[in-house]
Amino acid sequence: MAYTDTLQRSSFGQTERQDSWWIQPLAIFLGFSAFIIYSTWAAFQGDNYHFGPYLSPFYSPEIFGDSSHSLFGPKPGWWPLWLPFSPAFLILWVPVGFRLTCYYYRGAYYKAFWGDPPACAVGEPRKKYRGEASFPLIIQNIHRYFLYLALMLIIFLTYDVWNALWFVDPATGQKSFGLGIGTFVLAANVTLLSCYTLGCHSLRHLVGGFMDKFSGSPVRLKTYQCVSCLNKRHMFWAWMSLIVVGFSDIYIRLCAMGIWTDWRIL
């Protein structure tokens, strides 16, 4: 008789747990779904993504587009006519890929969307399981490449905050220093995204985790400790940055549509 022959399998959702184990996966399912639906809708809009010196993080950097933030001018002529265009399509795949392959999100959406398992010590819907050992989920190992790109995005988003400090006077066309609520929104956005990105498990490995011996490398040790410090609250930063990046787009969109007023402090 094999060792596992007498072990029992639970049916889907079967558990002896008496607590409300389903609340967390349900909350994650609803939270992620809401964000996916909104961000997809916002990406397809292709307008109202900039207001004054502000640029929505969903569209930043604006590689091609009609706003003054565009790096290389309007939509390129080679863009296929049959393919819908939005500046967000050129950039949004980076943060989507980064979050999709993120170690925290993986664990969370395997539970909430795939029931693998629905919660700890709760029965699963499927008997077959391959995990991340083979295709397709072995592709999750690409995470560090998305990290490299996400780090570049942080630079662009920081530059957007700088831009959000300079307002153009419509009468004179002169740029002057200023602070609007939108400036703070974009600053909060890049701060939270930095805390999330700089606490990435792959970054933690790349800056020093791969080493077995830290003595003799004080800078590397300090860097490893800093990343580890952020990594301890990776889930918190993941959620906070997700909420605020969505809010940043909503704020700029509503200002651009004239529904909200961007109050100036300076």
Partner 1 sequence: MASVTFKVWRGNKEGGEFKEYSTDITEGMVVLDALFQIQADAANDLAIRWNCKAGKCGSCSAEVNGYPRLLCMTRMSSLPQDRPVKIEPMKSFPVIKDLVCDVSWNYEAKKRIKKFKPRKPDAADGTWRMQQEDVDRVQEFRKCIECFLCQDVCHVLREHHLHENFIGPSLLVYTAALEMHPLDVEDRTEDLRKHQGIGYCNITKCCTNVCPENITITDNAIIPLKERLVDKFYDPLKKILNLFSGKS
Contacting positions for partner 1 (CB under 8 A) = 3-10, 15-19, 103, 106-107, 110-111, 116-117, 120-121, 123-124, 127, 129-134, 137-138, 141-145, 201-202, 204-205, 209-210, 212-215, 221, 231-232, 234
Tracing tokens 């220093």 back to the chain, one arrives at 177
Place of tokens 């006077």: 169
Question: Tokens 């990776």, residue?
Answer: 234
Nearer to partner 1, 131 or 170 (CB): 131
**Tokens 């900039």 — which residue?**
50
* Calpha distance 132→142 (Å, rounded): 12
The single residue listed with the structure tokens 């309007």 is 74
What is the smallest separation between the CB atom of 212 and partner 1, expressed in angstroms? 5
CB of 202 to partner 1, least distance (A): 6
The least distance separating partner 1 from the CB of residue 167, rounded to whole angstroms, comes to: 42
* Inter-residue contact 35 to 236 (CB < 8 Å): no
Judged by beta carbon, residue 172 or residue 215, the one nearer partner 1 is 215
Closest alpha carbon to 50 in 88, 102, 12: 88
List phi, psi (to 5°) of 85: -120, 135
Query: Residue 130 or residue 264: which is nearer to partner 1 going by CB?
Result: 130
Cβ proximity to partner 1, 66 vs 116, nearer residue: 116
H-assigned helices in the chain: 23-45, 93-100, 103-112, 143-163, 181-197, 201-204, 218-231, 234-256
CB of 95 to partner 1, least distance (A): 20
Q: Is the dihedral of CA 40, 43, 44, 48 positive or negative?
A: positive
d(Cα 104, Cα 98) in Å, to the nearest integer? 11
Comparing CB distances to partner 1, the nearer of 5 and 265 is: 5
Q: How far is the CB of 231 from partner 1 (least distance, A)?
A: 7
- For the bound state, the minimum distance from the C-beta of residue 65 to partner 1, rounded and expressed in Å, comes to 30
CB 79, CB 85: distance < 8 Å: yes
Q: How far apart are the first and last CA of the chain?
A: 78
For the CB of residue 129, give the shortest distance to partner 1 in the complex, in Å. Answer: 4
Q: Is the CB of 166 or the CB of 214 nearer to partner 1?
A: 214
Task: Rank residues 1 and 265 by Cβ distance to partner 1 and give the closer one.
Answer: 1
